[in-house]
Amino acid sequence: MAKLWFKFQRYFRRKPVRFFTFLALYLTAGSLVFLHSGFVGQPAVSGNQANPAAAGGPAEGAELSFLGDMHLGRGFRDTGEASSIARRYGPWFKGKDGNERAKLGDYGGAWSRALKGRVVREKEEERAKYIGCYLDDTQSRALRGVSFFDYKKMTIFRCQDNCAERGYLYAGLEFGAECYCGHKIQATNVSEAECDMECKGERGSVCGGANRLSVYRLQLAQESARRYGSAVFRGCFRRPDNLSLALPVTAAMLNMSVDKCVDFCTEKEYPLAALAGTACHCGFPTTRFPLHDREDEQLCAQKCSAEEFESCGTPSYFIVYQTQVQDNRCMDRRFLPGKSKQLIALASFPGAGNTWARHLIELATGFYTGSYYFDGSLYNKGFKGERDHWRSGRTICIKTHESGQKEIEAFDAAILLIRNPYKALMAEFNRKYGGHIGFAAHAHWKGKEWPEFVRNYAPWWATHTLDWLKFGKKVLVVHFEDLKQDLFVQLGRMVSLLGVAVREDRLLCVESQKDGNFKRSGLRKLEYDPYTADMQKTISAYIKMVDAALKGRNLTGVPDDYYPR
């Protein structure tokens, strides 16, 4: 075999022309095989189809047919019906039954993949119709439902899908990365040229512009979601003293039902729907109607005239639902107009709810929060202060998990957020192995990762709090559990330390938007308690250390549910 190979090399070395001839033949053969793969499986065309120009001869007809096929890789942005597709790309696009080859499973190569992409896009376009470019104002949004941002992966379909799932009629995209939903467009139409920003997650697609919305009307296949899945029960409340000011829109409904009242208030763009027997009232949570003092639901237990199993309240006690209309009184955010004279830390142990607290502070103050670190995923989700250097002075406070004298003394004041270590450790473990709102797999809990994690992180939970109490200047302690239980009061304390004057109505707005997109829905229930007896013994000792340190500074000790387990 070696001798044969040696003779083969010597033969071509003596006759280089033969070598290049052989190489050319080889490449030609490969090209023919590649071209053949693009035509494999094409059905035969009849004589009439092969000769589209009646005056042209066979050669001309074949040439035209071939050129028509060569255009398969282009022009897929057009959205015609099946008949126009067939005319544009030839009769082979239809199967024997005359229908489009939606699956395209019998065609190979790049052309097949391109056609598959076209069909998928056309199916997506069936669910929404583009209606134009609209002006948007941060003080008065064109679409006033929920909103979310993704500065890395935003696509038109993702925005439409999120709005449709929540039952909205319109979806709008702005700045290439922001998605807004609503039931009504409250803005003027502008030139298409003003919507000129490419979607961050979809090249070649337009996602609005600077203060300009690309708006789509959703074809509501999820009509039932808008009617039946959009309202959140808030409870039974006493009729407010000044009804016309507290709930400014009212409609009489003889055949009252929850759906009718919720739909009416949603259409009027109000976040609250209050049922009062045969009257439906709409409005915002305000100091006149704060939704803080719930009454016994038996006081509202009057059956709806159009719903046998639902309560519709009475003229004196209202049943209140929260619609899917977003309360925009607390959605505007910006950087500080001038450089801050002090650096305020939002300090916590990892897993203690720092990201959620940042979300609340941004809504309450209207200013972005910063970070000692840079987390690209949080920046992409709307925390624009994440990219600023922590000493920039443009953000209202700075997220940090740092401990140690030097790091702590760099700040002029601090909000110290403390959470039950058992919950905090599990939350941070979930974040480490599942992302900011994800969950660790069972394999991680059962493997060596969890015991090692507790061994390393549990002491840090205690030393983090002790260090901030010892070295911090002007430290405000907030317990995560208290923030969940009484958000209005605790958030008011936090905002006061930040030196921002906030109206009560804005804090009430925050209450209705409190979860946002950055709070984990809850710890996924495990089949067993991950904490062993030794772990619990160690953690309980740390809890007692922190409790003693808090009480030693005349502060409230740790909540009772920290121990025993």
Domain boundaries, the chain: 127-221, 225-322, 344-562
Distance CA 194, CA 492 (A): 40
**Which residue, chain included where needed, has tokens 């809850």?**
522
Q: Poorest-confidence range of 184-188, 343-347, 436-440, 444-448?
A: 436-440
Instruction: Please state, in angstroms and as integers, the Cα–Cα distance from residue 530 to each residue in 444, 451, 523, 544, following that order.
Output: 11, 9, 12, 21
Q: What pLDDT band is residue 452 in, cutting at 50, 70 and 90?
A: very high
When comparing pLDDT for 204 and 43, which is higher? Answer: 204
Distance CA 457, CA 372 (A): 20
Q: What pLDDT band is residue 5 in, cutting at 50, 70 and 90?
A: low
Strand-pairing partners, residue 235, are 320
Q: What pLDDT band is residue 115 in, cutting at 50, 70 and 90?
A: very low
* pLDDT score for 107: 36
**Which residue, chain included where needed, has tokens 């507290």?**
246
Strand-pairing partners, residue 281, are 250, 274
Averaged pLDDT, 145-150: 84
Cβ atoms 97, 82 nearer than 8 A: no
Q: Which one of 29-33, 79-83, 164-168 scores highest in mean pLDDT? A: 164-168
* pLDDT score for 332: 87
Averaged pLDDT, 139-159: 86
Distance CA 405, CA 472 (A): 8
Would the pTM of this model clear 0.75, i.e. be above it? no
Burial level of 348, CB count in 10 A (0-12/13-18/19+)? buried
Mean pLDDT of the chain: 78
Q: Could you count the other beta carbons within 10 Å of the beta carbon of residue 231?
A: 21
* pLDDT score for 147: 85
Name the amino acid, one letter, at 430. Answer: N
Query: What is the Cα 348 distance to its own chain's centre?
Result: 24
When comparing pLDDT for 230 and 373, which is higher? Answer: 373
As a three-state string, the secondary structure of 190-219 is ECHHHCCCEECCEEEEECCECCEEEEEEEC
* pLDDT score for 328: 84
* pLDDT score for 517: 59
Q: Poorest-confidence range of 165-169, 501-505, 539-543?
A: 165-169
Q: What is the pLDDT of residues 281-316, one digit of tens each?
A: 999 999 999 998 989 888 998 888 887 778 899 999
- The runs of H, that is alpha helices, within 370-420 are 376-380, 405-408
Residues 6 or more apart whose Cβ sits within 8 Å of residue 208: 133, 136, 172, 173, 174, 175, 176, 178, 195, 197, 214
Residues 6 or more apart whose Cβ sits within 8 Å of residue 140: 186, 328
* pLDDT score for 112: 41
Burial level of 55, CB count in 10 A (0-12/13-18/19+)? exposed
489 pLDDT higher than 60: yes
Q: What pLDDT band is residue 336 in, cutting at 50, 70 and 90?
A: very high
* pLDDT score for 15: 61
Q: Which one of 56-60, 153-157, 327-331, 367-371 scores highest in mean pLDDT? A: 367-371
Q: How long a stretch of residues is the chain? A: 565
Distance CA 92, CA 45 (A): 8
Looking at the chain, the whole-number percentage of residues with pLDDT higher than 90 is 45
**Exposure string (b/e) for 108-121, b if CB count within 10 Å is 16 or more?**
eeebbebbbebbee
**Which residue, chain included where needed, has tokens 């709008």?**
172
Distance CA 180, CA 144 (A): 7
| Angle CA 163–169–175, to nearest 5 | 55
Q: Poorest-confidence range of 121-125, 138-142, 461-465, 501-505?
A: 121-125
Distance CA 170, CA 160 (A): 8
Q: What pLDDT band is residue 433 in, cutting at 50, 70 and 90?
A: confident
Averaged pLDDT, 368-388: 89
Averaged pLDDT, 530-536: 92
119 pLDDT higher than 90: no
Q: What is the pLDDT of residues 69-107, one digit of tens each?
A: 333 332 333 333 333 333 223 333 333 334 433 333 333
Averaged pLDDT, 242-254: 94
When comparing pLDDT for 290 and 12, which is higher? Answer: 290
Measured distance between the N- and C-terminal CA atoms of the chain, rounded to whole angstroms: 77
DSSP letter (8 states) at residue 140:
B
CATH of domain 344-562: 3.40.50.300
58 pLDDT higher than 80: no
* pLDDT score for 472: 95
366 pLDDT higher than 80: yes
Cβ atoms 395, 369 nearer than 8 A: yes
